Structure 1
Amino acid sequence: MAIRWGLCGAGKISHDFSVALKTLPAEDHQIAAIASRSSDRAKEFAKKHSIPKVYGSYEELARDPDIDIVYLGVLHTEHWKVGLLFLQAGKNVLCEKPFAMNSRQVKDLVEAARKTNVFLMEAIWSRCFPVHAEVRKLLAEEAVGEVKLVKAYFGSPQLHIPCSVEKELGGGALLDIGVYCLQFVLMVFNGERPESVQASGVLLDSGVDESVVVVMKFSRKRMALCAFSIAARFSNDAVISGTKGSIRVLGPMHCPTTLVLNDKKTEYPLPEPCLPLNFTNSTGLRYEAEEVRQCLLKGLKESPRMPLADSVLLTEIMDEIRKQVGVVFSQDRK
């Protein structure tokens, strides 16, 4: 039986997610409904993606008994409020990253999911890519010996995009793209809390971070270095250096198709999209959709690839980075 998806939000990421779902078997995944606060946008979206049900409010989607899981593709600033709406209505939720604006909000979402006994996952799609699965396998086999340093870089010039630069829209390099570098480090170190986090960054006039460098120290003399920017283009790769070699995830490291183990390169091609995409390698969203399906079939309430504890720790680290760099959102004061 197909997993019946309800899409919340008719923006660019929901479009790409819909296109990605079409690369999977129709008997496994179906988009049953789309909800947007603008009924016109929802209708237009439904027409483009052949979605049978259209809702002009999120509340209507939350009440639909024929939805197995809601994909939350709204603005960062909306994740907490809208996430709670669906979780309290007893709906399983896949919420786009960043999970929420701070760790307090993330803990609220986790608590709500546990209270209503539903599935909840932060949509860190990177974790579901074959390249990341191979990285975890190589680390488990100690293919590069003991890991000593992890480096992850993500720079993408997007100062022209309002939601990247405006504080009221949850902008800044950290929440938008830095999250990918940090989650990679946590994946390599198995969700271990760093012993120390040191961050330095520069802010835009709007008060959000433009570029940030983070150094983290972990137990057993292991280190991590992350750099991310919404003003410059970086190599966007990630490197794991160990006592016996290195693993390199070639850019784009957040949705990768190429892995290099020492000098051996392996490619993991993506399927072609049926419609133009808004973001790089977006058909790779299929991997997280299938991960969700497998979790629901097994009756799991969270994904072993992106456990809720990792999401909480990730946001706590981001809170600390923002504190050091000097980025404060209105959500922090509540």
Structure 2
Amino acid sequence: MALRWGIASAGRISHDFMVGLKALPETEHKTVAVAARSLQSATEFAQTHDIPTAYGSYEELAGDPQVDVVYIGNITACHKDTVLLMLNNGKPVLCEKSLTASPQDTATLIKTAKEKNLFLMEAVWTRCFPAIIQLRKQIASGVIGEVKYVQANLGFRNPKLPGHMTDPKLKGSNILEVGVYPINFATMVFGERPESIETKGWLTDSGVDEFAAITLKYSGERVAQLTCSFNLNLPGEAYVIGTEGTLKLPQTFWCPSKLETPSGVLEFPLPTPCRPTVFVNSVGLCYEAEEVRKCISQGKLESEAMPLEHSQIVSEIAKTVIEQLGSCIYNN
């Protein structure tokens, strides 16, 4: 039987997630309901994406017995309450990054999911791309020797940012919106908490972090240097450098279709999207959806590609970085 999806939020990323789902076999994935803060928004979204049921509240979606798993695509400030609502109604959850705005809230969601014996995954789609899976295989094979250094950067110049991204009351944050990708990449490669964190950068006029240059020092003389911004265009590349060679993800490392290895460039073409997407390569959201289906079909409560422990580590690093920059979001 197909995994029956419910969609919580009718925003831009939920639109793109639907495009990703449409790239997968209908025999394996089916969207049965969508909910938004207004019934009109949900209805319009349902009509666009051929979803049979639209709800004007998340509570109605949580209570729908036809829904097997819920994708949550609202803003980070709302994630904790929405995820808890779904878990408390017996629904497995795939929740957009950042899972929450704080390590304490992330720990609460993980604890609740485990207590209720329900699947929970932070939707860090990067982890599920074929190019990333191959990168991890290359590292494990020892082809680049002992990994000593990771570098990743991501930033966009956007003078018309969505309001929630610069509003401290809504946990606006470059780190929580953009920086989680480089931080996640380093966490994936090194697989542990850093021994030290050092951050330089600046804030917006509203007191929200806008740019960060982060150095993470790990055990065994290993270092990650990460840069992120929602006010500068950065190359969007990532490097894993070992004692015997280098692996590189060129531009769009967070949703890659290529991997440069010591023996040559490997290409991983993405599926053709059924309609335009808001964000680059968003049809690749199909990979995380398929990861969820596989995990749930095998009775797993978390994904090996994006383990809950890594969500906790990334959340802890993000909070430290935000505090080192002097952001005021934890005062609101």
Q: Considering only aligned residues, what root-mean-square deviation do their CA atoms show, in Å?
A: 1.1
- Distance in 1 separating the partners of 2:159 and 2:178: 13
- Distance in 2 separating the partners of 1:129 and 1:119: 20
Query: 2:46: which partner in 1?
Result: 46
Query: 2:296: which partner in 1?
Result: 296
Displacement of 1:263: 5.8
Q: What's the secondary structure of 2:280's corresponding residue? A: coil
Query: 1:179: which partner in 2?
Result: 180
Query: 1:166: which partner in 2?
Result: 167
Bigger CA drift: 191-200 or 153-162? Answer: 153-162
- Distance in 1 separating the partners of 2:16 and 2:170: 21
- Distance in 2 separating the partners of 1:219 and 1:154: 25
Structure 2 gap ranges (5+): none
Contact 1:110 1:120 in 2 (8 A): yes
Letter in 2 for 1:291: E
**Residue 28 (1) aligns with residue 28 (2):** yes
Give runs of aligned pairs for residues 136-155 of structure 1, distance below 5 A.
Answer: 136-155=136-155
Contact 1:164 1:230 in 2 (8 A): no
Displacement of 1:108: 0.9
- Distance in 1 separating the partners of 2:70 and 2:328: 29
Q: What's the secondary structure of 1:4's corresponding residue? A: strand
Deviations, residues 72-116 of structure 1 (Å, cap 9, x unaligned): 000110001111111111110000000001101101111111111
Query: 1:89: which partner in 2?
Result: 89
Letter in 1 for 2:166: V
Q: What's the secondary structure of 2:273's corresponding residue? A: coil
Distance 1:193 1:55, change over 3 A: same
Q: What's the secondary structure of 1:19's corresponding residue? A: helix
Query: 2:215: which partner in 1?
Result: 215
Displacement of 1:333: 5.3
Displacement of 1:248: 0.1
TM-score in terms of structure 2 length: 0.98
Letter in 2 for 1:305: A
Q: What's the secondary structure of 2:299's corresponding residue? A: coil
Displacement of 1:325: 0.7
Give runs of aligned pairs for residues 105-144 of structure 1, distance below 5 A.
Answer: 105-144=105-144
Q: What's the secondary structure of 1:87's corresponding residue? A: helix
Q: What's the secondary structure of 2:272's corresponding residue? A: coil
**Residue 280 (1) aligns with residue 286 (2):** no
**Residue 13 (1) aligns with residue 13 (2):** yes
- Distance in 2 separating the partners of 1:290 and 1:328: 38
Give the paired residue count.
331
Structure 1 gap ranges (5+): none
Deviations, residues 245-276 of structure 1 (Å, cap 9, x unaligned): 10001110110111101361111111121111
Letter in 2 for 1:55: Y
Query: 1:202: which partner in 2?
Result: 202
- Distance in 2 separating the partners of 1:156 and 1:172: 13
- Distance in 2 separating the partners of 1:277 and 1:204: 29
Displacement of 1:328: 2.9
Contact 1:158 1:164 in 2 (8 A): no
Give runs of aligned pairs for residues 228-239 of structure 1, distance below 5 A.
Answer: 228-239=228-239
Deviations, residues 26-60 of structure 1 (Å, cap 9, x unaligned): 00000010001110011111111110111111000
Q: What's the secondary structure of 1:179's corresponding residue? A: helix
Deviations, residues 137-196 of structure 1 (Å, cap 9, x unaligned): 01110110011110000011124112332223332211111100000001111x211111
- Distance in 2 separating the partners of 1:214 and 1:159: 23
Deviating above 6 A after TM superposition, structure 1's stretches of 4 or more consecutive aligned residues are none
Letter in 1 for 2:172: G
Percent identical pairs in the alignment equals: 44
Bigger CA drift: 319-328 or 173-182? Answer: 319-328
Query: 1:254: which partner in 2?
Result: 254
- Distance in 2 separating the partners of 1:132 and 1:158: 27
Letter in 2 for 1:268: F
Query: 1:77: which partner in 2?
Result: 77
